[in-house]
Amino acid sequence: MTARTFRLTQIHQRIDERLRMEMRKRSPDTLEISRLKKMKLRAKDALHRMLRRPAGA
Give pLDDT tens digits for 13-45. 999 999 999 999 999 999 999 999 999 999 999
Predicted confidence at residue 21, as pLDDT, reads: 98
Q: Which domain holds residue 35?
A: 3-52
Predicted confidence at residue 38, as pLDDT, reads: 98
d(CA 22, CA 7): 23
Predicted confidence at residue 1, as pLDDT, reads: 77
Residue 17 lies in a domain: yes
CB contact at 8 A, 46 and 8: yes
Residue 26 lies in a domain: yes
Residue 57 lies in a domain: no
Phi, then psi, of 26 in degrees rounded to 5: -60, -40
Domain count, the chain: 1
This prediction's pTM: 0.84
